[in-house]
Chains A and B, each alone.
Chain A
């Protein structure tokens, strides 16, 4: 769908956006840096509904026996927060016409009625996800009404994370199961034309796979959940402005994210 020239432009755009943000926009973002001290105050940073697209990250509790904490002692659900969404929202703003809220993002639990104002949700580290009955019911209603869930940073090498996610999704959407996503699915072509296998996991070769949950288990129908298995695209988003990862790889991660957002707005 897009040529080489466009790809180069996009790469430059991504890099420029990141540098630009670092140079001039750092202080404007109102999403506070995460620290263990102010975990309880996250929801206070949520911006009210204003008709724009808000990045909505799902907050949850982890299961018994699973710490869910690692690096900087952040909770599992907050992995890559807030740098990932902050960078990603700027990219969305720069590359697409999605009218997005770049002043902040929203963190909500699935039992919060506010989630229904933000039809695209993002959840990470679902290997340790342990939703309550209320949260499961909330997620089920959210997806059936038309919500779209992006699932990231989950891999089996840390335990049977796939099974944990699949189990809880069965609770939320009984009868609907995770189905391997064909590489020519519309979600890979909604804005950028993406070859999924080029979205290489940041942890090195890990056999990245894509799963989806479809309405009525029918792959021709609406994709309700997209699951980046053995991958972590937000990892790229988080560090795209710091040079940890090659630009090409970060580009692919951004492109996939942009596609998800455009797909979630139109399908």
Chain B
């Protein structure tokens, strides 16, 4: 298309985009217009005066064609031309940035490697493209992957980079060439940036400096057939023995509608396997897989899909995730306002779980409490905690049937803050003293609840309804609701459980909350929300609106060996404490890096009331895989209260242990441990298809052009007319464009043809 344009209009479209249009005739345009007007009037008059067989319409058409023809001639006589600013040969520089990452060694469908274009056009002295560029510009070559730097000759490239960072490459080239007249940058890459650094920050300085970037996209836009494991949603720390639900995004082309096995391995031992049904080509599917991790400590959990027949890239079929299996006993406070069987059966359900300490504060009578599973005689000595320090020792709080008026306003506010500030889990159980029936409306805790409280029932006997519980669509995939069975059997398992009862009619969740279990029954006018949750501040709140989940254990219809009730409560409480932060918490910005890469260690420091501390002394003790210990001070970032950070560079390959300790005035505030894995990365094989859109954006936003190897031949000339640097003004004639000649012929031919048709010849 561009060639046809160039043939008709003498110059490529880019010239018209860049140039300014002007007329070169010596007389003024106004004079020419007067002449044209006179000629046109004379033409029209001659056709009007002429008599013969022609009608008025015939004469009008012919006069019009003739006027147009005269207009074209006048335009040619006006000597139209383009004024272009072009760079002065050999006085300007062009930076050529070549992708040096592993993905350049991927083969296209025809078996040709991506880097073959680079080898042919830039590493070979016989390349016409390189010759043309060299004739016009002084060339400077750069290599880039995760780092960027000058290279004398592209033939030196080894294509061993394990990441691609386009932003960094542009920054380095711009800075290195800042002292010379630069016509532009040429970036040769597949565009598969996997460092996720914002491009805009690198494009703005280029725009400001008027430096165009010409991008050359290598590789195919779609690698077919191929399967790729995408994002894996998995927590970085879990409690030992917890059931994990992990979402794995799988993308594929060429295997539409097929099935593949997804295998999960813990230290080379298969711990889960799931058959995944693939969707339409190019559309990612989310596979949900369930498993448990045994044994305390850091683990590498691998997810993989075995290579499929004829698959083009196999190294994007597996991913590993670093996870810490924690063995602590998580303390959960269950405050129950009246002795009821929920206490007994919940305690029994989790008593064998070594990772959960369910501390029960049972109000048995007015101002009389029974304490169960406390650490010592002083714990909860005066009943429900009255200070944040006392309450925040627990990672989760369960409130049973206890009316809001039991608490002081400060305690109610503290419960709300426990969720929003401390990040704890709050579970609210149904009962006479719970929700609206317990007078919780208008309290600070109401805001935290994931359900909407209605007015309590007018009936003095109170509301009572049997509820048949079923999982909602969201609940069908939630670990707390799975009851330890395969996903396709969850609904069946819930159907087999007996009805329970509620005294709290609740039929609405708050905006943003999710219902996991719902219920129906003859005494219920509306569908009952049985289990719902929401995130609230740093923590989460859960409402379980029934009063006797113990029937799932005790009821005659439930076989003795059935573990539904135990599993339900075990998972509920583990979910409740999952992700609850510590007062001192350390995390690295990435869980896996390559040896030599920088890692940012961020530590949030709070005191026992979880109030951010800015004057702490924070030390990171980093132990390398070979046992070398390095101690680093971690400094307050100033930007955020309680946030400390330090950068370090692990050089060895393997597992690093990072232990952070925070002290203030000689008193230890807390410590935390995190792990980091260092190994060569396979990132270059993920999402490795050509990112045309990214490359076009770079070109468009800087005033450059996007090319493929097929149309890159015009690159030298394009840089010449669009580039910056030392330029000169060129005037290009347009009056002799073939288009104008063809237009004249067409207009003459049209009049002649019209006359023939109308029989006027």
A97 touching B337, Cβ below 8 Å: yes
Q: Given that A190-B370, A266-B339 are known contacts, is A147 also in contact with B344, CB under 8 Å in the complex?
A: no
A266 touching B372, Cβ below 8 Å: yes
- Give the complex CA separation of A117 and B348 in angstroms: 17
- The residues in B between 515 and 569 inclusive whose CB is less than 8 angstroms from any CB of A are 547-548, 550-551, 553-558, 560
Q: How large is the interface on B (under 10, 10 to 19, 20 to 34, 35 or more residues)?
A: 35 or more
Stretch at the interface among B135-143, B220-228, B361-369: B361-369
Task: Decide if B622 is an interface residue (CB 8 Å cutoff).
Answer: no
- CB neighbours (8 Å) of B368 from chain A are 191
- Give the complex CA separation of A53 and B432 in angstroms: 13
Contact of A99 among B338, B348, B372 (CB under 8 A): B338
A117 touching B501, Cβ below 8 Å: no
A131 → chain B, closest Cβ, in Å? 17
- Give the complex CA separation of A230 and B553 in angstroms: 34
A221 → chain B, closest Cβ, in Å? 9
A97 touching B550, Cβ below 8 Å: no
Task: Decide if A119 is an interface residue (CB 8 Å cutoff).
Answer: yes
- Give the complex CA separation of A116 and B558 in angstroms: 10
A119 touching B365, Cβ below 8 Å: no
B554 touching A145, Cβ below 8 Å: yes
A119 touching B554, Cβ below 8 Å: yes
B543 → chain A, closest Cβ, in Å? 18
A50 touching B370, Cβ below 8 Å: no
Contact of B554 among A96, A116, A191, A222 (CB under 8 A): A116
Q: Given that A96-B339, A119-B554, A264-B344 are known contacts, is A51 also in contact with B560, CB under 8 Å in the complex?
A: no
Q: Given that A51-B501, A146-B553 are known contacts, is A265 also in contact with B341, CB under 8 Å in the complex?
A: yes
- The residues in B between 163 and 205 inclusive whose CB is less than 8 angstroms from any CB of A are none
Q: Given that A51-B464, A141-B560 are known contacts, is A95 also in contact with B554, CB under 8 Å in the complex?
A: no
Task: Decide if A261 is an interface residue (CB 8 Å cutoff).
Answer: yes
A81 → chain B, closest Cβ, in Å? 24
Task: Decide if A98 is an interface residue (CB 8 Å cutoff).
Answer: yes
- Give the complex CA separation of A19 and B624 in angstroms: 78
Task: Decide if B576 is an interface residue (CB 8 Å cutoff).
Answer: no
- Give the complex CA separation of A111 and B365 in angstroms: 34
Contact of A98 among B338, B345, B547, B550 (CB under 8 A): B338
A17 → chain B, closest Cβ, in Å? 14
A146 touching B501, Cβ below 8 Å: no
Interface centre among A49, A147, A266 (most CB of B within 10 A): A266
A261 touching B464, Cβ below 8 Å: no
Task: Decide if A267 is an interface residue (CB 8 Å cutoff).
Answer: yes
B339 touching A144, Cβ below 8 Å: no
B547 touching A51, Cβ below 8 Å: yes
A262 touching B344, Cβ below 8 Å: no
State the total of A-B contacts with C-beta under 8 angstroms.
82
B534 → chain A, closest Cβ, in Å? 27
- CB neighbours (8 Å) of B341 from chain A are 119, 265
Q: For A2, give the chain B residue with the smallest CB separation.
A: B368
B348 touching A266, Cβ below 8 Å: no
Q: Given that A50-B464, A116-B555, A265-B340 are known contacts, is A97 also in contact with B348, CB under 8 Å in the complex?
A: no
Interface centre among A50, A117, A190 (most CB of B within 10 A): A117
- Give the complex CA separation of A264 and B366 in angstroms: 19
- Give the complex CA separation of A146 and B552 in angstroms: 11
Contact of B363 among A97, A146, A147, A222 (CB under 8 A): A97
Task: Decide if B262 is an interface residue (CB 8 Å cutoff).
Answer: no
Contact of B503 among A51, A97, A191, A261 (CB under 8 A): A51
- The residues in B between 354 and 399 inclusive whose CB is less than 8 angstroms from any CB of A are 360, 362-366, 368, 370, 372
A99 → chain B, closest Cβ, in Å? 6
B556 touching A262, Cβ below 8 Å: no
Task: Decide if A113 is an interface residue (CB 8 Å cutoff).
Answer: yes
Task: Decide if B690 is an interface residue (CB 8 Å cutoff).
Answer: no
Task: Decide if B696 is an interface residue (CB 8 Å cutoff).
Answer: no
- CB neighbours (8 Å) of B340 from chain A are 53, 98-99, 265
A266 touching B362, Cβ below 8 Å: yes
- The residues in A between 85 and 107 inclusive whose CB is less than 8 angstroms from any CB of B are 95-99
Q: Given that A51-B501, A144-B560 are known contacts, is A266 also in contact with B343, CB under 8 Å in the complex?
A: yes
A262 touching B338, Cβ below 8 Å: no
- CB neighbours (8 Å) of B554 from chain A are 116-117, 119, 145-147
Q: For A112, give the chain B residue with the smallest CB separation.
A: B556
A94 → chain B, closest Cβ, in Å? 9
B347 touching A99, Cβ below 8 Å: no
Q: Given that A51-B501, A146-B348 are known contacts, is A266 also in contact with B432, CB under 8 Å in the complex?
A: no
- The residues in B between 308 and 359 inclusive whose CB is less than 8 angstroms from any CB of A are 337-341, 343-345, 347-348
- Give the complex CA separation of A65 and B583 in angstroms: 71
- Give the complex CA separation of A191 and B370 in angstroms: 7
B566 → chain A, closest Cβ, in Å? 11
Q: For B466, give the chain A residue with the smallest CB separation.
A: A49
Q: Given that A50-B464, A191-B365 are known contacts, is A117 also in contact with B372, CB under 8 Å in the complex?
A: no
Contact of A51 among B339, B363, B365, B548 (CB under 8 A): B548
Q: For A115, give the chain B residue with the smallest CB separation.
A: B556
Q: For B363, give the chain A residue with the smallest CB separation.
A: A97
- Give the complex CA separation of A191 and B365 in angstroms: 9
A146 touching B345, Cβ below 8 Å: yes
- CB neighbours (8 Å) of B337 from chain A are 97
Q: Given that A98-B338, A144-B560 are known contacts, is A119 also in contact with B550, CB under 8 Å in the complex?
A: yes
- CB neighbours (8 Å) of A119 from chain B are 341, 344, 550, 554
B339 touching A261, Cβ below 8 Å: yes
Q: Given that A50-B464, A191-B364 are known contacts, is A266 also in contact with B347, CB under 8 Å in the complex?
A: yes
- CB neighbours (8 Å) of B343 from chain A are 265-266
Interface centre among A97, A116, A261 (most CB of B within 10 A): A97
Interface 1/0 per residue, B483-516 and A, CB below 8 Å: 0000000000000000001010000000000000
Q: Given that A99-B338, A191-B364 are known contacts, is A113 also in contact with B370, CB under 8 Å in the complex?
A: no
**3 closest A-B pairs by CB:** A113-B556, A265-B339, A97-B338
- A residues contacting B by CB (< 8 A) are 49-51, 53, 95-99, 113-117, 119, 141, 144-147, 190-191, 222, 261-262, 264-267
16 contacts between A and B (CB under 8 A): A51-B464, A51-B503, A95-B365, A96-B365, A97-B338, A98-B338, A98-B339, A99-B338, A113-B556, A117-B555, A119-B554, A144-B560, A145-B558, A146-B344, A146-B345, A190-B364
Apart from A96-B339, A98-B339, what 8 extra A-B contacts exist at CB < 8 Å? A141-B560, A191-B364, A191-B368, A264-B344, A266-B339, A266-B347, A266-B370, A267-B347
